Amino acid sequence: MILYYNFLSIKQVPTTKTIYRKILIWRYKYISERQFIYILSIIVGFLAGFGAVILKNLTHFFQHLLEGNLVRDYHHAFYFLFPIIGLTIVFFIIKYVIRNKVSHGIPSTLYAISKRKGIMKRYQMFGSILTAPITVGFGGSVGLEGPTVATGAAISSNVARLFHLNQTSRTLLIGCASAGALSAIFKAPIAAIIFAIEVFSLDLTIASMLPLLLASLSAIITSRFFFGSDVLLPFKTEDVFTINNIPFYLILATATGLGSIYFTEVYDRIQKLFDKIDSPIKRLLVGGIGLGILIFLIPPLYGEGFEVINNLIAGNPEEALKNNFMNLDLSNVWVVILLLLGLVLFKVIASALTFGAGGVGGIFAPTLFMGSLLGNCVAKIINTTGLSSVSESNFTLVGMAGLMAGVLHAPLTAIFLIAELTGGYDLFIPLMLTATIAYLIAKYVHPYSVYAMQLGRKGELITHNKDHAVLTLMDINRVIENNFVPVYSDMDLESMVKQAVVKSNRNIFPVINKKNNKLTGIILLDDLRPIMFDQTLYKTVFARDIMQHPPEIIIIGIDKMTDIMRKFKESGAWNLPVVKEGQYIGFISKSKLLTAYRNKLIEVTS
């Protein structure tokens, strides 16, 4: 009897699944979808902000421990060793702990939105936290913004899955996490919201704006709780913008536009070179040694580089350049200009080597770094040549906006980020002018940002073009129909009538090769109707005699949804065959395609 009562008491203890089910039922009963999104956006903002705190603190711990205690106190040669050691540790963590590839932050998030319906794998919630601080803390010349965004995005994606939210809500929460991550890092909540809208192509509506605001607010409160009022770029504008400086800001805009093209071109080419190296060990050695040599020769390339930026804004370039390996005289302004330009040229190479070697980080910080240097150089050249007297600190800040707009294709983010960092809108006119022109110059040469380059080339990038976005989100496998009865090329008329026409309720028949299942043509019911009742032709007419080439063929793995729509439009066909590596798969009908398009449009815009 005692055992019986014990058994009953054990059975009455609620399991985790039971509690989870009850929570879901309670939520569906008492909380509307919109209210629940608001609640989750606050939670996601907090988690993204907390992720930013962890990443920053870990990175600063490594940097202080290594660069502060070992390099400065013991030997300069550690600048060569640390990047190699850090990248090696990251390699082993990825291989033996995470056991999955940790992709670059924002590109991997964009891929999840466009091709995985906003679903991100669980390991992505902690993959960047384990690897990015080691990459950057040991000298990797990349930033933490991308990994922070990826961490927040992965958390929000899995939270959305936990509560069975649809694709549109998942995408919105990913945008909320991205806004929260950037808000926590820079303490710039408005710029963070604009970043989520620009980069992730979110719709600017009340339904999306309020969750973004809540997430950004939640994240910045979290950041302030841990970091106080400290900011990465502590600066207030002192020099007033005058209308006479517009021609010089036009020069800066052109310089940052060209600098953006240089960044994208060099980064892309180095990545392609590393892609050709099959062995990850070889990539680690080539990238690690190359990065170690660069940082040994040019120490300011170590890590994110915000200390260099702050020195430039404060008017202390000598402090940023004091470790130059040739011990050049920094009292000569032209020497300073040449050294700063050298940093501009080599920063992107150092960043690309870090990624190529398997490091984990982002390109947000490198663009700010290069932009600040370029802006400072332009101002120094203008002042030194006597063309005018311009504010070097203002040009440094505006240069950051110009390069960010050109490289990331996010001009509004660039404008509002610098405006918020400087505590006002005194530089709004030069920021708008420089960011817009730099963006237009860069976009003319490179239609896609570094974030979206690979997806954009494949036509898989979600954009603000709603038609293109819907087509990108559609799954080709869901619209393929398989209820077409095939015939073989050597099949006679009698067999076609008895084995195909009689059994099929479709008016088209794929002709395939019996040996390899390759599509050789199609036969329309209209082709068979004039002869199908003439029995004298049953043994003399074969499928190969009456088949025709389809007006278009859809190839899986090559054709995107936009290509499929174009093929239907140009051919005027109602059904088109689908092949994969030449083998017949099925057909796509125009009616089913348009129905799927309409359903996806409703889902995306709901």
Q: Using the predicted structure, report yes or no on whether residue 594 has a pLDDT greater than 90.
A: no
Phi, psi of 586 (to 5 degrees): 170, -155
Residue 441 has pLDDT above 90, yes or no: yes
Residue 2 has pLDDT above 60, yes or no: no
pLDDT value of residue 520: 85
Quote the pLDDT of residue 440: 95
Can you tell me the distance from the alpha carbon of 585 to that of 577, in angstroms, rounded to the nearest whole number?
8
Whether the per-residue pLDDT at 462 is higher than 60: the answer is no
Tokens encoding 151:
């961490």
- The DSSP line for 455-516 is HHHHT----S-HHHHHHHHS-GGGSEE--PPPEETT-BHHHHIIIIITT-SSSEEEEE-TTT
Say how far apart CA 547 and CA 550 lie, in whole Å.
Answer: 9
Q: If you average pLDDT over residues 111-121, what whole number do you get? A: 78
Contact 485, 476 (CB under 8 A): no
Q: Taking residues 424-450, what's their average pLDDT?
A: 88
The pLDDT assigned to 256 comes to: 95
Instruction: Count the Cβ atoms, other than its own, within 10 Å of residue 256.
Output: 35
Contact 208, 201 (CB under 8 A): no
Question: CA dihedral in degrees (139, 141, 144, 146; nearest 10)?
Answer: -150
β-pair type (575-580, 554-555): parallel
What tokens does 187 get? 């303490």
Over residues 256-278, mean pLDDT:
91
Q: Does pLDDT of 349 surpass 90?
A: yes
- What average pLDDT does range 350-378 have in this prediction? 91
- Return the H-helix or E-strand segment holding 583: strand 583-589
| Each residue's pLDDT tens digit, 365-390 | 899 999 999 999 999 999 998 888 88
DSSP state of 71: I
For range 161-174, the mean pLDDT:
85
Between the alpha carbon of residue 261 and those of residues 200, 376, 380, 433, 443, the distances in Å are 22, 19, 22, 18, 9
Q: Tens digits of per-residue pLDDT, 37-66?
A: 899 999 999 999 999 889 988 988 888 777
Contact by Cβ (8 Å): 128, 151? yes
| pLDDT category of residue 493 using cuts at 50, 70 and 90 | confident
**6-10, 408-412, 458-462, 522-526 — which one is most confidently predicted on average?**
408-412
State the average pLDDT over residues 258-282.
Answer: 91
Q: What is the set of domains in the chain, with CATH numbers?
A: 17-227 (1.10.3080.10), 243-464 (1.10.3080.10), 471-605 (3.10.580.10)
Q: Quick one: pLDDT at residue 10?
A: 44
The contacts of residue 293 (CB under 8 Å, 6+ apart) are: 80
Listed residue (305, 320, 400, 286) closest to 361, CA to CA: 305
Helices vs strands, H then E, count in the chain: 26, 7
- At residue 483 the predicted structure's pLDDT band, cuts being 50, 70 and 90, is confident
240-266: pLDDT as tens digits: 778 888 999 999 999 999 999 999 999
Where is pLDDT greater, at 234 or 48?
48
- pLDDT above 50 for 15: yes
Separation between Cα atoms, residue 586 and residue 575, nearest integer Å: 10
Q: Rounded to whole angstroms, how far apart are CA atoms 249 and 280? A: 44
Residue of 502, 464, 480 lying closest to 561 (CA atoms): 480
The pLDDT value given to residue 62: 85
Which pairing describes strands 583-589 and 480-481: parallel, antiparallel, or unpaired?
A: antiparallel
Above 50 in pLDDT, residue 3?
Answer: no
**Strand 487-488 relative to strand 508-512, pairing:** parallel
pLDDT at 9: 44
Would you place residue 454 in the very low, low, confident or very high pLDDT band (cuts 50, 70, 90)? low
Identify the pLDDT of residue 8.
42
Read off the tokens for 484: 């077409």
CA distance 290 to 284: 10
* Radius of gyration from C-alpha coordinates of the chain: 30
| pLDDT level of residue 11 (50, 70, 90 thresholds) | very low
Reply yes or no on whether the pLDDT at 7 is more than 50.
no
Helix (H, G, I), strand (E, B) or coil at 229: coil
Q: What is the pLDDT of residue 22?
A: 79
Phi/psi for 470 (5° steps) reads -65, -45
Residue with more model confidence, 236 or 281: 281
- Reduce the secondary structure of 362-408 to three states and give it as a string: ECHHHHHHHHHHHHHHHHHHHHHHCCCCCCHHHHHHHHHHHHHHHHH
Q: pLDDT at residue 322 above 80?
A: no
Specify the higher pLDDT residue, 381 or 598: 381
510-558 pLDDT, tens per residue? 888 877 888 888 888 887 888 877 777 878 788 888 888 888 888 887 7
pLDDT at residue 600 above 80? no
Give the per-residue pLDDT at 1. Answer: 44
Contacts of 592 (CB under 8 A, 6+ apart): 479, 481
Rounded to an integer, what distance in angstroms lies between the CA atom of residue 286 and that of residue 289? 6
**Spatial distance between the Cα atoms of 409 and 602, rounded to a whole number of angstroms:** 28
Q: What is the predicted pLDDT for the residue at 350?
A: 93
Mean pLDDT computed over 267-282: 89
Distance (Å, rounded) from C-alpha 138 to C-alpha 86?
Answer: 5
CA atoms within 13 A on the CB side of 225: 11
Taking alpha carbons only, the member of 515, 507, 590 closest to residue 552 is: 590
DSSP 37: H
pLDDT at 68 (0 to 100): 62
C-alpha to C-alpha distance for 97 and 123, rounded to whole angstroms: 10
Residue 236 banded pLDDT, cuts 50, 70, 90: low
Per-residue pLDDT for 4 more than 50? no
Highest mean pLDDT among 225-234, 349-358, 563-572: 349-358
Determine the pLDDT at residue 90: 92
Mean pLDDT of the chain: 82
Identify the pLDDT of residue 506. 81
Least confident of 164-168, 323-327, 330-334, 530-534: 323-327
pLDDT tens-digit series, residues 172-205:
899 899 999 999 888 888 888 988 888 877 766 7
Mean pLDDT of 14-25: 75
Mean pLDDT across 393-404: 91
Helix, strand, or coil (residue 428): helix
Task: Check residue 92 and give its pLDDT.
Answer: 93
DSSP code string of 570-585: HH--SEEEEEETTEEE
Residue 487 identity (one-letter amino acid): V
Indicate if the pLDDT at residue 94 is higher than 70.
yes
> In a 3-state reduction of DSSP, which class is residue 183?
helix
Backbone angles phi, psi at 345, to 5 degrees: -70, -40
524: left (phi over 0), alpha (psi -120 to 50) or beta: beta
